[in-house]
Amino acid sequence: MNEAILQTEVQEFIHSYHEDTSKLAFAGSPFPNVSTSELLQQIESRKAIEKKLPTWFNEKKICYPPKLNMEQTSSEKTARYKAKLVEGKTLADCTGGFGVDTFYFAKKFDAVTHYETNAALSQMAAHNFKILGGTNITCVNRDGIGALENTFYDVIFVDPSRRNSSKGKVFYLNDCEPNVPANLDVLMSHCDTLLLKTSPMLDISVGLEELANVSEIHVVAVKNEVKELLWLLDKKSDSTVKIVAVNHNSDGLQQFSFNLGETNDTVYGPPSRFLYEPNAALLKAGAFQYISEAFRLKKLHKHSHLFTSDALREFPGRRFAIEKIIPYNKKEMRRGITFDTANITTRNFPESVSTLRKKWKLKEGGNRYLFFTTLENEDKIMLICAKV
């Protein structure tokens, strides 16, 4: 890490630069001790995390790694959520990286160790923790799992990354670095609780096959986009696995939980007054089979994952008032489409959104929502809705 980056005039330049960075790349760095590439890295990486990491963005004298590292790190929202899931006095982050998760764990634990194999990143994280007041964090430039040795922690956190050679294949934890399944016994022998973060690309059933002692799985979404899966492993856990679907949005936190394998009764029925679309976390968690009973809703079709009711209910997802139900045939559709702009969603329907837009000459946008789906009797319909 180049200490010259921390000079007041350099920091002022980084924080006040709002022009196209290609202009700076052409003109070159105005500072003799800071190269153009170093300056561009700080400006571009800082810009990339403005909304994701406001605490880091607003603080002076923070150092940033390349932009790619910033794109892969947790957001402050998801980091705060992780910290709520575990407790104790000591925690080891075996894959420390830029240190966002480490920083929020440190707000809850007495002592946190940040392990990172990249020397520059380890040094950078240590510097940033000092600036942000993370005085109870120790940074160690070593492989986290290899460094455990005779140390015991209340909690160990691991965020494995997928190896480049595994791209295009089915996602397995064995394809990640570090290989958690291969090191699971070692990890569990050095802690009471293991918290594992994985990509949302990982199939939950595949993860359960590769891991043991799973007590909880948290599917974490931000603004209806699943960002990560969190796996809590506990040596005392029984065979019951709790699934928690969480969605952070502008209205707060939508949350729904269930025990995997529980039997629930799903009631089916045709569309009535209101339509419900589960959020992305619910869908990833496979919670759609529990929704009917939990929220007293009827499901349109086994594979449609849309629900309906006569009375408006609270629901972790989008809610709509159904204005019209149009059978999907040429005559009824031509009569029913009296507009040229709408938002389109398909659920268990044979035609894509792009095909439907072209076929019925519909532009995107506006306050009208169209759902193309299939009913329990296999009839195809279009629902014209307004958002509640």
CB contact at 8 A, 364 and 291: no
Question: How do residues 34-85 score in pLDDT, each as one tens digit?
Answer: 999 999 999 999 999 999 999 999 999 999 998 888 877 899 999 999 999 9
Res. 169: pLDDT tops 80: no
Angle at 38 between CA 33 and CA 44, to 5 degrees: 140
Distance CA 268, CA 283 (A): 18
Residue with tokens 């295009």: 168
Burial 141-162, CB ≥16 within 10 A → b, else e: beebbeebeeeebbbbbbbbeb
**What pLDDT was estimated at residue 163?**
72
Q: What crossing angle do the helices spanning 8-16 and 36-48 adopt, rounded to 10°?
A: 50
- The kind and range of the H/E element at 165 are none
- The kind and range of the H/E element at 193 are strand 191-198
Res. 153: pLDDT tops 90: yes
**What pLDDT was estimated at residue 281?**
95
Distance CA 181, CA 172 (A): 10
Question: For the chain, how many helices (H) and strands (E)?
Answer: 14, 19
Distance CA 74, CA 56 (A): 12
CB contact at 8 A, 217 and 244: yes
Res. 378: pLDDT tops 70: yes
Res. 165: pLDDT tops 70: no
How many CA atoms within 13 Å lie on the side-chain side of 226? 23
By the 10 Å C-beta count (0-12 exposed, 13-18 middle, 19+ buried), 330 is classed as exposed
- The kind and range of the H/E element at 216 are strand 214-222
The stretch 163-171 carries a mean pLDDT of 65
Please give the C-alpha separations between residue 172 and each of 45, 155, 193, 199, 310, in angstroms, as whole numbers: 30, 23, 22, 10, 43
Q: Which of 248, 304, 243, 246 is nearest to 277 (CA)?
A: 304
CB contact at 8 A, 291 and 309: no
Domain spanning 74-259: CATH 2.60.40.10: no
Tell me which long-range contacts 359-364 makes (C-beta under 8 A, separation of at least 24).
360/333, 362/337
Res. 166: pLDDT tops 70: no
**What pLDDT was estimated at residue 370?**
97
Rg (C-alpha) for the chain, rounded Å, is 25
**What pLDDT was estimated at residue 3?**
84
The stretch 336-362 carries a mean pLDDT of 95
Mean pLDDT of the chain: 92
**What pLDDT was estimated at residue 152?**
96
Distance CA 183, CA 156 (A): 13
- Which of 13-17, 157-161, 266-270, 288-292 comes out lowest in average pLDDT? 288-292
* Strands 307-309 and 298-299, sheet pairing: antiparallel
Instruction: Report domain extents, the chain.
Output: 3-71, 74-259, 267-387
Distance CA 266, CA 292 (A): 5
Distance CA 204, CA 248 (A): 20
The stretch 204-208 carries a mean pLDDT of 94
Of these ranges, 18-32, 259-273, 330-344, the one predicted with the greatest mean pLDDT is: 330-344
Q: Determine the 3-state secondary structure of 137 from DSSP.
A: strand
Distance CA 85, CA 271 (A): 38
Distance CA 132, CA 63 (A): 12
Question: How do residues 250-284 score in pLDDT, each as one tens digit?
Answer: 878 889 999 988 877 889 999 999 999 999 999 99
**What pLDDT was estimated at residue 167?**
62
Distance CA 365, CA 46 (A): 32
Q: Determine the 3-state secondary structure of 317 from DSSP.
A: strand
- Which of 7-16, 63-72, 195-204, 299-308 comes out lowest in average pLDDT? 63-72
Question: How do residues 221-238 score in pLDDT, each as one tens digit?
Answer: 999 999 999 999 998 877
- The kind and range of the H/E element at 232 are strand 225-234
Distance CA 264, CA 86 (A): 29
